[in-house]
Amino acid sequence: MVWNGEEPACRSEVRKEATESGPAGGRERILLSSDLDGTLFFRQGDYYGPRSTDVDALVRFTGVGNILVLNSGRPYISLLGAVPESIPWDYVISDSGARITARDGRTLMHRTIPAELIDEAVNGFDSGEPFTFGCDSAVYCIRPAEGWMSHAGTRRISASVAEIPEPVTSFAFHTESAEEVGRFAAYMEEFRGRGLRAFVNGLNVDVTSDVSKGEALLLLAKELGIRRDRVWACGDAANDLPMLTAAGHAVSFVHAEREAKECAEFIVASVEELVDRCLSGFMSAKCDKIGIAALLR
């Protein structure tokens, strides 16, 4: 693991000005950790990405000195091409918590998985479904699905991780069968005590070293001197639970999976609403808990 806890220089002048004038209206700055798919990224016709209203809200949020962290199960290399420049993020927690990267490109924390352990896990599971392996320079695929190889930075391998010429940060099992998802997730429990952790993410299972989105979030907050009660997290799915439970305040959405709603302190309609309410201080636990109860019925 590598850690270098300096804050990115990308908005150093904004940070300096906000600190001197009092970030977020005179209050301590807030760290917001946001999932991507189903939280910031949505299908809008042929376009898949963030809503302009959410992006504008995040620009306002970071513009007063607050910190935005994108927290995803995706490999970092995949995020580079997916996240538009307009999103004003400060840090990315990728690979389900195995890597923390600052906007200026510095890797602040990085855990990799021994190749022999990955080979044992992948080859010991009887399935013809695809696997992907996230590394620094590329995503490698075994049995890639149609169209995958057209993505920049994607490379095919035959059967062994030994073919990958660089360390693997995370890997994922992909299928169209919920039954196969459950079978692989149960199989990966055998490796929990050996340094691997699996997270169900829809019809995918993301696997990383023994770390999580939540543990990485708390590590980053500690290094930046942000108290837990100033850490907010928003997500929509079961694989966001470690992040939601780690944060001082957990937020989910009207459209989210039931597990995420049950874990949340607040339910909102969008990231824009979350930012508006967060900056204005209009977060009423009493009102929102009533709303959550109604949404779960």
Token digits for 56? 């504008």
Contact (Cβ atoms closer than 8 angstroms) between residue 23 and residue 61? no
Task: Work out the percent of the chain whose per-residue pLDDT is above 90.
Answer: 66
Q: How high is the pLDDT of residue 227?
A: 95
Q: Are residues 100 and 222 in the same domain?
A: yes
Over residues 174-178, the mean pLDDT reads 95
| Residue 38 one-letter amino acid | G
Q: How high is the pLDDT of residue 63?
A: 95
Residue 1 in any domain: the answer is: no
Q: Are residues 76 and 152 in the same domain?
A: no
Where is the domain boundary, 209, 225, 254?
A: 209
In terms of residue numbers, what domain contains 168?
A: 115-209
Each residue of 196-236: pLDDT tens digit? Answer: 999 999 899 999 999 999 999 999 999 999 999 999 999 99
Q: How high is the pLDDT of residue 23?
A: 52
Q: Which residues have C-beta within 8 Å of that of residue 105, sequence separation ≥ 6?
A: none
**Is the pLDDT at 263 greater than 60, yes or no?**
yes
**Is the pLDDT at 245 greater than 90, yes or no?**
yes
Token digits for 83? 């996240």
Each residue of 39-78: pLDDT tens digit? Answer: 888 888 888 888 999 999 999 999 999 999 999 999 999 8
Q: What is the dihedral of CA 255, 258, 261, 263, to 10 degrees?
A: -150
Each residue of 117-160: pLDDT tens digit? Answer: 999 999 999 988 999 999 999 999 998 777 776 666 788 998 78
Contact (Cβ atoms closer than 8 angstroms) between residue 173 and residue 202? no
Specify the higher pLDDT residue, 15 or 104: 104
Q: What letter does residue 194 receive in the DSSP assignment?
A: G
Please tell me the pTM assigned to this model.
0.85
Domain count, the chain: 2
Residue 72 in any domain: the answer is: yes
Residue 19 in any domain: the answer is: no
Q: Are residues 123 and 205 in the same domain?
A: yes
**Is the pLDDT at 25 greater than 60, yes or no?**
no
Each residue of 72-103: pLDDT tens digit? Answer: 999 999 888 889 999 999 999 999 999 999 99
Where is the domain boundary, 209, 229, 245?
A: 209
Q: Which residues have C-beta within 8 Å of that of residue 75, sequence separation ≥ 6?
A: 94, 95, 132, 134, 135, 139, 169, 170
What's 184's domain CATH number?
A: 3.30.1240.10
The span from the CA of 203 to the CA of 103, in Å, is: 30
Q: Are residues 128 and 196 in the same domain?
A: yes
Contact (Cβ atoms closer than 8 angstroms) between residue 67 and residue 32? yes
| Residue 89 one-letter amino acid | W
Residue 2 in any domain: the answer is: no
Q: Are residues 258 and 149 in the same domain?
A: no
Q: Are residues 63 and 191 in the same domain?
A: no
Q: How high is the pLDDT of residue 27?
A: 67
Q: Are residues 246 and 271 in the same domain?
A: yes
Nearest residue to 157 via CA among 136, 181, 141:
141
Residue 71 in any domain: the answer is: yes
Where is the domain boundary, 209, 243, 277?
A: 209
Q: How high is the pLDDT of residue 52?
A: 92
What's 39's domain CATH number?
A: 3.40.50.1000
Decide: residue 111, CB within 10 A, 0-12 exposed, 13-18 middle, 19+ buried.
buried
The span from the CA of 154 to the CA of 151, in Å, is: 6
Q: Are residues 228 and 146 in the same domain?
A: no
Specify the higher pLDDT residue, 218 or 28: 218
Q: Which residues have C-beta within 8 Å of that of residue 100, sequence separation ≥ 6?
A: 3, 91, 92, 93, 107, 108, 109, 110, 216, 219, 220
Task: Work out whether strand 231-234 and strand 249-253 pair parallel, antiparallel, or are unpaired.
Answer: parallel
Q: How far is CA 141 from CA 43, 164, 172, 183, 265, in A?
A: 25, 10, 10, 20, 38
